[in-house]
Amino acid sequence: MLITEDIRNKTIFDFLLPLPLEQIKDYQELFALAVLRYVYPEIYNDYIKADAPDLQSTDKKSGVEVTSAIRQNDAIINGNSVKYRLTKNRTKRERLKEKIKQVGGDIDEYSVSYPPKDSTIELKVIYDSILRKNKKLDQYKAKGFQKMSLFIFYEEPICPLREEQAQGLLESVRNQNTFDTIYFCMPFLLISYQCMNNTVQITNIPQNDFEALSTIVRMTVDGEIKLNSTIWTMSNKCN
């Protein structure tokens, strides 16, 4: 990924409306591709956005499935908060606000809040997202994909984990019929877990670069940037 000064100078206020719900899946898949090209351009510059799996090498021998680890309540809040921001109808806004409150959240003109959680809840959400995607592995192998990775995006810095909790999650994953590599991404970090040999690589992504990648993806979803542009095909590799 090539991050320019024009991209760095953009802020959230340059986007007049929140991302529509029907574009969130595209955004998440493109964000995964952006992060992987930023951290591992030598591997992922020849990957394209596709379908089943979401990202694929041009020879169709390797793929990446993309998902977001999120609680059901948080997903409901996210969906209704987008609708709340996009509508001006007062009655509809009050109805949406009530739906958010029913699952433990709240919203006003400037912010949205979520029910509390701890590291135990977060670990379960992450683990469940892996198990859910594991069910697709056989169909991808049947298509000829010899190597499959999973990219999990978590939208906020994770609660501090005790070492034994993290180790327990990794051991549980290894005991499943799972992916070759699991990428776990959160602000401002990418954790790469090689399941077969139980090795972990942690890459810190500077906050301004992480935010710039998000800007590139939003501009791409909005049609301002094309996937074949130099921004996507050239690299200022993460050190």
Tens-place pLDDT, residues 190-203? 988 888 887 888 89
Q: How many domains does the chain have?
A: 2
* Domain, as residue range, for 106: 72-116
- Same domain, residue pair 18 and 103: no
For residue 167, pLDDT beyond 80: no
pLDDT value at residue 63: 97
- Same domain, residue pair 194 and 76: no
Name the band, by pLDDT with cuts 50, 70 and 90, for residue 163. low
Task: Please check whether residue 19 is in contact with residue 27, taking contact to mean a CB–CB distance below 8 angstroms.
Answer: yes
CA distance 58 to 217: 21
Q: Quick check: is 134 in a domain?
A: yes
pLDDT value at residue 104: 86
Mean pLDDT score, 18-41: 91
Question: Of 209, 236, 214, nearest to 225 (Cα)?
Answer: 214
- What's the DSSP call for residue 104? T
Please write the tens of the pLDDT for every residue from 201-227. Answer: 889 999 999 999 999 999 999 999 999
Q: Quick check: is 123 in a domain?
A: yes
Average pLDDT, the chain: 86
Residue type, 70: I
- Same domain, residue pair 151 and 209: yes
Mean pLDDT score, 99-119: 84
Q: Quick check: is 238 in a domain?
A: no
- Same domain, residue pair 90 and 147: no
- Same domain, residue pair 137 and 201: yes
pLDDT value at residue 158: 59
Mean pLDDT score, 100-117: 85
Q: Quick check: is 78 in a domain?
A: yes
Q: Quick check: is 239 in a domain?
A: no
CA gyration radius for the chain?
Answer: 19
CA distance 36 to 155: 16
Question: Of 147, 232, 227, nearest to 181 (Cα)?
Answer: 147
Lowest mean pLDDT across 52-56, 100-104, 124-128: 124-128
- Same domain, residue pair 103 and 206: no
pLDDT value at residue 154: 82
For residue 161, pLDDT beyond 60: no
pLDDT value at residue 121: 75
Name the band, by pLDDT with cuts 50, 70 and 90, for residue 108. confident
- Same domain, residue pair 27 and 131: yes
- Same domain, residue pair 60 and 167: yes
- Same domain, residue pair 81 and 146: no
- Same domain, residue pair 94 and 155: no
- Same domain, residue pair 79 and 23: no
Q: Quick check: is 131 in a domain?
A: yes
- Same domain, residue pair 163 and 203: yes
Of residues 230 and 167, the one with the higher pLDDT is 230
Q: Quick check: is 141 in a domain?
A: yes
For residue 180, pLDDT beyond 60: yes
pLDDT value at residue 200: 83
Q: Quick check: is 148 in a domain?
A: yes
Please state the pTM of the whole predicted model.
Answer: 0.81
